[in-house]
Amino acid sequence: MPELPEAERARRQIERVRGREIVAVHDRDTYVSRPHAPGEIAAALTGHRLVDAHRRGKYLWVETDTGPVLGLHLGMTGSIVVDEEPHPRGWDRFALDFRDGGRLALRDRRRLGRAILQPDLSRVGPDAGEVSREEFRERIGRGTAPIKARLMDQRAISGVGNLLADEILYRAGIDPRRPSGGLSEAELDGLRRATRAAIRTAIRRGGAHAGEINPERRPGGRCPRDGAELRRARIGGRTTYWCPQHQR
DNA sequence: AGGTCTGTTCAGCT
DNA sequence: TAGCTGAACAGACC
C-alpha cells in the first residue's frame, strides 16, 4: 500500500532513467491513463528525455526536456520498476522504452494508479514531511471531522494514508476520533513532530509497514507500549486501530 | 466457489 | 463548504 515513503522510493527510481531518450510509450490502458486516448501520451513523449522527478505527498510528476510533464500516481498497489522485463501477468499498466534498451513501468495489480499528462496539483496540500508548524496548525487544527480523517485529507496535507495515520496518532498519543478543531496548539505541534518522525522512519525502513503499531494491527492486537488491547473501528471510512490506554 | 476485505482517489450527495 | 458514502479496481483470503 503505497504511501509517502513508497512514493519517495518511486521518485528515486525515476531519477535513475534521467537523460535517456524515450523511443516508445505503452499507454493503452485507458483507465490508468484516463482521460487520454491510447497513443496520446506516446505522441507527446516519444523522442523526449526525462530530466527531473518530483514528489508532493503521494503525487509524482516528471519533467521532460522540452515536452509535457508526466504525472504518476501509485494508487494502492502500484510501484515504479526500472529496467525489468514486462510483468508476465500484464501488471505493467504504463511503460516507457528507452533507446538504450531500458524501460520504466508503472506496475500495478489493481489499476488504481495513474499516468497522465500535465497533472493538476493545485488542490493538493503541502507535503506532510515539509509543512511548516504554522501551516500545519492552520490546515490540520480546524473542522469537525475526526483528526484521522483530516490527516488523510490530501488537500489539507499530502502523503498520509491509512497505515501512516494510525502510526502517527499512536506516536502522538492522540485518539483518532477527536474532532480536529478541538486539538490544542501543543497537541498539533506534537502531531506534526510525530508525522515527521513516522515518515522519516518509514522512508529509512522501506515503507509505511515498518511502524510500531503495524504488526499489532489485527483483531486482538496489543499496544507495544502498555500492553492494552487495541481498539478497532471504522474512522474516516478506513479501518483504524488505536490504544485506548495512551491515545487520548 | 462465492463473499468479504483491502485502501486511494473521485463523483456525488446532504 | 465540510464531511460522508459508495464506486472504481482486482487480488488475497476465508
Cell, residue A68: 509535457
Note the CA–C1' distance, A223 to B9, in angstroms.
Answer: 31
Q: H-type helices in chain A, by residue range?
A: 4-15, 40-45, 133-140, 147-152, 162-172, 185-205
Q: Which of A70, A79, A19, A21 is nearest to A44 (CA)?
A: A70
The span from the CA of A108 to the CA of A102, in Å, is 19
| CB A112 within 7 Å, strand C | yes
Q: Which of A109, A111, A115 is nearest to A89 (CA)?
A: A109
Tell me the longest C-alpha to C-alpha distance in chain A. Answer: 59
pLDDT at A217 over 90: no
pLDDT at A213 over 90: no
Question: Helix, strand, coil shares of chain A as percentages rounded to 5?
Answer: 30, 25, 45
The percent of residues in chain A predicted with pLDDT above 90, rounded, is: 77
The percent of residues in chain A predicted with pLDDT above 70, rounded, is: 98
pLDDT computed for residue A1 by the predictor: 66
For residue A218, name the pLDDT band (cuts at 50, 70, 90).
confident
Give A125-183 pLDDT, tens digit per residue: 999 999 999 999 999 999 999 999 999 999 999 999 999 999 999 999 999 999 999 99
**Residues of A annotated as part of the active site:** 2-3, 58, 238
Mean pLDDT score of chain A: 92
Exposure string for A85-113, b = 16+ CB within 10 A, e = fewer: eeeeeebbbbbbbbeeeebbbbbbbebbb
The residue with greater pLDDT, A218 or A68, is A68
pLDDT at A219 over 90: no
What sign results for the dihedral spanned by CA atoms A88, A90, A95, A98? positive
pLDDT at A35 over 80: yes
Give A76-129 pLDDT, tens digit per residue: 889 999 999 999 888 999 999 999 999 999 999 889 999 999 998 988 999 999
Q: List the beta bridge partners of residue A235.
A: A238
- The whole-number average pLDDT for the span A188-210 is 85
pLDDT computed for residue A122 by the predictor: 87
Tell me the pTM. Answer: 0.94
Residues 132-151 of chain A with CB under 7 A from strand C are 143-146, 149-150
